[in-house]
Structure 1
């Protein structure tokens, strides 16, 4: 499975299914493998940042640089596990863990106020000032927290 020129065996497919908690069917895994091989133009068994950025939908995503950090050096099995958070069969826990990793900018296992501001900065770019971003986020956060526990 490390060599992208080879075909997946039934064992490989089942191993990938187990690794991603069966969020993809066997046919979906075969399709994902074909797409992985298309993206892996170097044939090294990994998809580089440039290869990921060749996907237009990924390249224009404001969080693409953040996602690239998560994708760096993934082989096919890890690639499928990464994508499993987007599957309709993924559990809420899997989706939350994925989102947490996106927001945990410094990879310290915590999402701090600064991490949230980093994500907002990525999403809003130069459209709002840093002060507007901080004040707006703080007020929104306080109101959500207050109404959630009131």
Structure 2
């Protein structure tokens, strides 16, 4: 992948990214502007904590889990724009659903043991619903998930999680519409 000139992307760089990613040229331009805003030190890269500054991550109650999963996924401390796009593709509706499921499983697999235990499910439920004050209701919901998807186990393994993810259409939660916020310029240079 080409090194990007920091102030703007050339047409060649955009064409290269369109060919090698799942994003349109307009989405790439928009995401590049956002990347530059995150790169407050103008170094040409961002860190994991900078991801939390993205509104889609900042407002997400699972943002710390998402950042830790990104860290596992990339294995780099410095995230270039190309790597930034590689990470974001997981949330693109055109990406491989199985890779998205793997990524989401890693978000919840906070103990790094290949399972999502009852306590972690309870924590996730509370974060996603905000029902920390109704512990009985939260426990009942988690027990129902475990009974439905894990049988007698007190955890979800990967196969259980896949069933849970697919039957509850969790893709609706994890897919980001990157075109939604594109500026509505008419007759501009790019379109």
TM-score by length of 1: 0.69
Deviations 1:86-139 (A, max 9, x none): 21211221221222122211233433334323312322442322x543333112
For 2:9 and 2:69, locate their aligned partners in 1 and report how far apart those are by CA, in whole Å: 24
| Residue 46 (structure 1) aligned with residue 46 (structure 2) | yes
Q: 1:37 to 1:13 in 2, by over 3 A?
A: farther
Q: 1:38 to 1:107 in 2, by over 3 A?
A: same
- Superposed, which structure 2 residues align to 1:35-74 within 5 Å? 35-44=34-43, 45-47=45-47, 49=49, 51-71=50-70, 73=77, 74=79
For 1:133 and 1:7, locate their aligned partners in 2 and report how far apart those are by CA, in whole Å: 48
Report the number of matched residues: 142
For 1:140 and 1:28, locate their aligned partners in 2 and report how far apart those are by CA, in whole Å: 37
Q: 1:13 to 1:98 in 2, by over 3 A?
A: farther
Task: List gaps (5 residues or longer) in structure 1.
Answer: none
Q: 1:111 to 1:101 in 2, by over 3 A?
A: same
- Superposed, which structure 2 residues align to 1:1-150 within 5 Å? 5-8=6-9, 10=12, 14=16, 18=20, 22-44=21-43, 45-47=45-47, 49=49, 51-71=50-70, 73=77, 74-125=79-130, 126-129=132-135, 131-144=136-149
Provide the secondary structure at the position in 2 that maps to 1:111.
strand
Question: What's the offset of the Cα at 1:61?
Answer: 1.7
Deviations 1:35-90 (A, max 9, x none): 111221122311452x4444444323211121222345433222212211221211
Deviations 1:11-46 (A, max 9, x none): 57636853xxx3213442232122111221122311
Contact 1:66 1:102 in 2 (8 A): yes
Q: 1:91 to 1:16 in 2, by over 3 A?
A: same
Task: List gaps (5 residues or longer) in structure 2.
Answer: 72-76, 152-162, 164-191
